[in-house]
Amino acid sequence: MQRKPLFWLQLAFTLSVCVFLVVPVVLSALAGLTVNYQTGLSSGLTFRWVIEVWSGYRDTIFRSIGISLACLAVTLVLGIPAAYALAKKQNGFTRALEELLVMPVAVPGLATALALIVMYGGAGGFRTSWLFILVGHVLFTLPFMVRSVLAVLLAIDLKTLEEGAASLGAGFIQRFTHIVLPNCRAGIVAGSLMVVTLSMGEFNMTWLLHTPFTKTLPVGLADAYASLRLEIGSAYTLVFFVMIVPLLIAMQAVAQKPKQTFKTDEE
């Protein structure tokens, strides 16, 4: 089919938006691997900056991974039962609860962090440990876990499945582990990816919650941008991309998967 001029115009526009989004990422990746960015690529490629980041900021990388995994564990334990309860009882009250639970996403991280500080800032050991950051991250990511699992639970006929199992004598624990969990697997996977990705990149809250001994990766990034040369900031950003891009790709893949049908855990 012959394309109209309007098509090409729109394509050009869309392509330029892509360029706007992708070019700085590529530039920054290049800068992190170039000997001298000002001089350009002719100065040669090097791993020097990446190595400097690794030796100077390794701890922030491991801390961020640790916090995001701990955050995942907590959101799974708190979120799945809550989502199940919200799915079982759909009324004004539970909808209000859901609305409340989503608040930490709507309220800026800055405000949440200040609130945590005025409440618990005096609790010495807690304030200076990484757990203080974890609490903030759980608040911010829990809604994503709950919503993701809830969406799946509402899409399946949970009631019939559970009644079937109950009529065969399955108790609650049995129903939960053999019916509910296998059926909301897709929601759990999507929610988990979201939680880990968000926790890994969280800055607004973490900047206020961290101490010099509990720096996370984004906090280290802000440090590096403010005080170190562009090449090191870029190399650090590159490390962050390498960590986050697989998560983003997995997230896109999960989102594109066709809707699942009923499942039992015997496959």
Give residues 43-102 in contact with other proteins (rule: CB under 8 A): 77-79, 81-82, 84-86, 88-89, 97, 99-102
The residues in 197-236 that bind other proteins, with binding defined as CB under 8 A, are: 197-198, 201-204, 207-208, 218, 221-222, 225-226, 230, 233-234
244 closest CA partner among 42, 63, 65: 65
The residues in 163-202 that bind other proteins, with binding defined as CB under 8 A, are: 172, 197-198, 201-202
Which of helix, strand or coil describes residue 124? Answer: helix
Query: Judging by beta carbons within 10 Å of its beta carbon (0-12, 13-18, 19+), is residue 189 exposed, middle or buried?
Result: middle
Identified binder of other proteins from the candidate list 33, 50, 71, 138, rule CB under 8 A:
138
Instruction: Output 14 or 174, the one with its CB closest to other proteins.
Output: 14
For the chain, state the CA radius of gyration: 23
- Amino acid identity of residue 217, one-letter, is L
* 13 forms part of the interface with other proteins (CB under 8 A): yes
* 34 forms part of the interface with other proteins (CB under 8 A): no
- Measured CA to CA, the distance from residue 187 to residue 174 in angstroms comes to 20
* 131 forms part of the interface with other proteins (CB under 8 A): no
Neighbouring residues of 257: CB distance < 8 A, sequence distance ≥ 6:
186
* 128 forms part of the interface with other proteins (CB under 8 A): no
* 244 forms part of the interface with other proteins (CB under 8 A): yes
